[in-house]
Amino acid sequence: MKTMDRPKLTFAERFYIPQIIRGLWQTLRHIPRKKITVEYPEVKPKLHGSEYRGVPTLVRDPDGRVKCVACQLCEFVCPPKAIRILPASRDAVRPDGNVEKEPEVFEIDMLRCIYCGLCEEACPEEAIFLRKDFAVTGYTRSNKQKLLELGGTHADRIWKWKNK
């Protein structure tokens, strides 16, 4: 067994006063700097780039139809299991009858949502998007109508209702 000798401490090292003075000096150096506090309700913070992810919403196409086809990929990929979808079939007589399903129930529990963005990435129809909102409160689940109101209309390259 090998023993290690402890190094001898100097007089200044045995007393913690030099370290305390050095810490206080470091703190005093930072006092005159510019304040970086944002007065939130009055001043909105600036979003830098696309790294900010906000509340998930459902969108409609330019003709006003719900883009979601209830494939449930967003529900399966959601880590906290905050999304719940109950699919329903569409009437064949409707103009968009060639689409198999639509969501009868589409709920997102905003209290469980961690705003990871996986639902947006997994959606093959580009029906779910993350908005750039700051103050999102959620006391209950957001149902399909509320999510569609938040999402609005989104035109994109996917047109599943075109007759072939």
How much is the pTM? 0.60
Question: Architecture of domain 56-151 in CATH?
Answer: 2-Layer Sandwich (3.30)
Stretch 11-19: mean pLDDT: 78
pLDDT one-digit tens code per residue, 48-68: 666 677 788 888 888 777 888
Taking residue 144's Cβ as centre, other Cβ atoms within 10 Å add up to 19
pLDDT one-digit tens code per residue, 24-40: 999 898 888 777 777 77
Checking if the pLDDT of 160 tops 80, the result is no
Nearest-CA neighbor of 119 among 98, 142, 89? 142
Checking if the pLDDT of 79 tops 90, the result is yes
* pLDDT in the model for residue 85: 92
The pairing of beta strand 56-58 with beta strand 128-130: antiparallel
Spell out the domain ranges in the chain.
56-151
